[in-house]
Amino acid sequence: MIDAAELIDNDFLRQFEIKIDDHLAKIEYSLQDRKIFLTKLVIPEGITDENFRTEFLSAVFEQIDERNLSIVPTSPDIAKFVRRNRKYKRMLPVGLRI
């Protein structure tokens, strides 16, 4: 469902965003040193696909991984995603446990 071309890193608003129909899903972030703090996940109620959350987060994490950044999930929803998807735990900074 999600194509890498559809995912936008909006530097000005400091958020990853993707538009599905007329709905905008986003992950807000803060960038410090070589760490990206993922602070808020917003998925509109109009997006009803059950797999969308997983696909969206996976696409964002792949883009972050390509930039060789560490992730610091401060949002409970994003932290839960990392706990459930062990392959992304390697992206956590040394010493950070979720």
In this structure, is residue 38 part of a structural domain?
A: yes
User: pTM for the complete prediction?
Assistant: 0.89
* CB atoms closer than 10 angstroms to residue 45: 6
Contacts for 2 with CB less than 8 Å, ≥ 6 apart: 18, 52, 55, 56, 59
Instruction: Please report, for the domain that includes residue 28, its CATH number.
Output: 3.40.630.30
DSSP 8-72: EEETTTTEEEEEETTEEEEEEEEEETTEEEEEEEE--TT---TTHHHHHHHHHHHHHHHTT-EEE
For residue 2, being part of any structural domain is answered with no
Number of domains in the chain: 1
In a domain, 20, yes or no: yes
Residue 60 lies in a domain: yes
Note the pLDDT of residue 1: 55
Q: Is residue 63 part of a domain?
A: yes
Grouped pLDDT means (10 residues each) for the chain, 98 residues: 75 94 93 95 89 93 95 95 93 86
